[in-house]
Structure 1
């Protein structure tokens, strides 16, 4: 959705509006984005905070239900998913400020575009399968680094005596800064893990993995074949070594971004994105609202959201397994508790937090 995730250029109008509204430059005011996928921004964008809502639908605890480690309580979910005026970890790659990764194709799984000649009227594509596969592997490598970095930072929630630290485990995080350099260990965790989730979610909007092409037209660069797979993308297992380019399916493609630099290629926003949908943050149900042409084909928009939610849940399950393997069952359980609970350590000396013995 206009890279709801991608706000490349500020306009004078946006700058003036920011001044009129009194919005800090650390906030979410931005010019209309050039290209979109699941969006982070709400203002000056046709998006509806899709990244936030996918993350909430996947991982937020039901209202008034304490976490059992599989879901995030409200404050902890806020710093991971963000909200209307706060990017959170999952929105961090779309920031135009410090730590943003708007122009980094690896952070969004862009530019792995390819189509076979037999799917393109017998015409050879301007890039090879190997080039596209290498670009996708670069994305997988980048996201694996974010995932593994998050697991490393999660282990820093203890003080020098080995006790769970109230400061390091508090869900009070700034909305800016280089990747993994927030003040608290929990904030560094949600920043890096959120960045990994962002790229995972983008994959389902940016690629043809779960979607369908327009069956009423021949496949081509403007109507690339859809793979219509009903499973999470298996190469996005960040606990395993990064896959080889030869493991990438032959028909897999993601869009070229930005479109004005993608002549004769499968473009990010025109050909493949499934974007700009109203997503219920509790159920994950989709109401189409100005979604892209690709999203309007069959049930493409719903499938992109559904599998982004499914893979977000898979990634948190894999993260829990990674934490237990790194730190042991007992310490790992404490870390997982601290990441998901809003009061892991008591606020006063006479109170006990949810994650303290």
Structure 2
């Protein structure tokens, strides 16, 4: 591979001139800049960013670690960070921990070794000591989806307790009293908060009950399996309102209700999800959901990272909380407008 020395020799200029063309082209005369650019093209020279990082002490890349990149919510979160970083000429490398602490640890260590500008982290948990050590060694870390550790880290999150309460309060307002929550990974902060909010909503309505149906995972297939368990019950033993911890599980439960036992939504069971991912509008019955500002959370996390990079030791950590919003569709309200009709109009 061609080196910067090879480019300088081919262009008949100094190494310093080549460096200026790469980093400050406006200070180089047009003729010399043209000679260097021609040499770069002919030799196929690619800048050695690792060497530049060692000299500058900071990369032009940011690491972003999410729990499950196959979940559209996390894809939107990472996309928001990428869009914000792009405006500053910064790249975002996204890692998928897959809800595995060991993989999260590996990705954290690799990003630190690569001298990234900073790390945006949606954590599975269990890596707190490593996160603090990396941060203390000089790599800024912004926590996503948590409001913990606000004195030590900047962070962004959604008020998930309010979101869970909002979802179940809507079911109760629709006259539902036998409420079930389909959930998995109950130890996750987000899941626990949504269940706590759901419980609080039920506690305020006399005669209402809450059942937790634990699934194997936070996926469509796991939601379908949980939905099948509900559908297999006698009609009088089924819940009349179901809150799924995310939209993927809700889509699976909807499949089980619609195809296994022809359970009508919302007439027999009102169904609501969480996240309001894009395909919620186009499920078999348009899915009511609780919307999170995923892209804005990613943008805000990146903005907090840049604040910390710029201000360094003088930076004051802060937390940004986003309020979720209820989106009502036909899976809970038969009179709700069809979103596809609205798009056609």
Q: TM-score, normalised by structure 2?
A: 0.31
Q: Which has the higher contact order (CA 8 A, sep 6+)?
A: 1
Higher strand share: 2
Larger Rg: 1 or 2? 2
